[in-house]
Structure 1
Amino acid sequence: MCILFVIIGAILGGILGEVLKNVPSLAGVMPFLVTSSPVFDMAPVTINLYVIKLTVGLAFMPNLMSMLGIILAIVLYRRY
């Protein structure tokens, strides 16, 4: 359940950052909060099984808003 809270917090934090990026009164702060930095990037791997072709890749590129969402999700999980 905690992992679900963390994932949803990261997604909602990232979405909130993208929404607030266009607010004129926050124009000075938001570029720092929504700039993503790659932490983990695994190149896509393709597996051809002749019936199904499967391509899998994974990238973790958080921004500060998604990290704030993760922290808020952990705080809410502890209260739950």
Structure 2
Amino acid sequence: MIKALEYAISALEQLPAADQEQISRELIAHVQKLQSLRNMLDQGVESLDAGKGQTLDIEELIKRKNAGHVRG
């Protein structure tokens, strides 16, 4: 375990149980989100490596995404 994490856990242990529980839940959710993002990145890289990528027209993508956000 890295020193920063050891310090954070030590500091966390000084807090009331309810705060420890809340911070722990938030940390777990953050770690799970990072794991999910890394898995999606791995899948994307595998897809590109398998030749499944497509050319992207960034201007067209921006137009499509902005079409639903027209200011009036």
Shorter-chain TM-score bucket reads: 0.3 to 0.5
Normalised TM-score (structure 1): 0.30
Structure with larger RCO (C-alpha < 8 A, sep 6+): 1
Structure with bigger helix share is: 2
Per the normalisation by structure 2, the TM-score is 0.33
Greater strand share, structure number: 1
| Structure exhibiting the larger radius of gyration computed from Cα positions | 2
